[in-house]
Amino acid sequence: MDYIILDIEFNGRKFASELPMEVIEIGAVRLDANLQLIDGFSSLIKPIYFSKLNTFIKKKTGIPQAAIDQAPRFRKVIADFMNWLDRSESFLLVTWGGEDLKRIVYDTRMHQLDDSYWLAAKYFDLLKGYVRYKNLTNDVSVETALQDLEITPTGSAHRALDDARMTAEVFRAIYNKLDFERVQQYKDVYSNAKERRMVKNAVRSMLKQKIDPKWELVVEHYLAGKISLEDLRKLAELEDYFEAEVSKAQIV
């Protein structure tokens, strides 16, 4: 099995807008079963919205506007990338956090393409693997991980291919410390970390007060008026999270 270390850049913005952010660069490297780098993939993407990069993105990535103007659209690049991936008989995507794959899924759907390829793909969140290995309480950047592992970074940070190469160095350095039982597949999430933390804190608070934790109590006393619960998918997801937190508390 090959390991595909994936990184993307997207045209984030510093102001509120209903228009979606889009992937503007995909970079990846392929490692074989012996963790040797075989080849790489790199392409810029011309976005539909915000095709003129803002100052923040240009400064952060160093991507010139002229290169974006001449870049192919997402449909072509994602097809080329999937063809490149399929050169491996089997592969595991490796990402630093869950944002990269999520953005690819979102753009695939925005362009009304079939997302089944990405929903079926298995991936490993190396950021979470690194945090577990180091027993950290907060997430860190790839650059911080490289420094901690005393690995000299190469290339330019915030360019997708260079970031993928640097992430690959972290992956190789701690490969034997990683728990690959935690391989996962993309799953739509309708709540955010803050909302899930509110549910977790509600469970802790009720148990501390020796109140039998009930979902209805959480909704009424901890969530109502603080977050929107109109989306039934979010409501169901938070209830499932509540049940999981209660179960964990009972085991302890």
Per-residue pLDDT tens over the stretch 172-227: 999 999 999 999 999 999 998 899 999 999 999 999 999 999 999 999 999 999 99
Over residues 111-140, mean pLDDT: 96
pLDDT at 252: 55
- pLDDT one-digit tens code per residue, 43-81: 999 999 888 888 888 888 899 999 999 999 999 999 999
Rg, Å, the chain Cα set: 20
User: CA 84, 29, 54 angle in degrees (round to 5)?
Assistant: 95
- pLDDT one-digit tens code per residue, 78-96: 999 999 999 999 999 999 9
Question: Tokens 């969140």 appear where?
Answer: 125
Question: Tokens 């945090």 appear where?
Answer: 131
Contact 139, 97 (CB under 8 A): yes
- pLDDT one-digit tens code per residue, 12-32: 766 667 888 899 999 999 999
Share of the chain above pLDDT 90, in %: 83
Q: Write down the pTM of the prediction.
A: 0.85
Residue predicted with more confidence, 156 or 16: 156
Strands (DSSP E) found in the chain? 2-10, 23-31, 37-44, 91-95, 122-125, 184-185
Amino acid at 93: L
Contact 103, 23 (CB under 8 A): yes
Provide the 10 A C-beta neighbour count for residue 121. 19
Over residues 157-165, mean pLDDT: 93
Structure confidence at residue 249 as a pLDDT band (50, 70, 90): confident
Q: Cα separation of 66 and 79, whole Å? A: 23
pLDDT at 155: 82
Q: Indicate if the pLDDT at residue 3 is higher than 90.
A: yes
Q: 96 Cβ partners below 8 Å, 6+ apart?
A: 7, 125, 126, 127, 142, 163, 167
Contact 239, 215 (CB under 8 A): yes
* Sheet with strand 37-44: strands edge to edge: 37-44, 23-31, 2-10, 91-95, 122-125, 184-185
Over residues 153-160, mean pLDDT: 86
Here the tokens at position 114 are: 């079939």
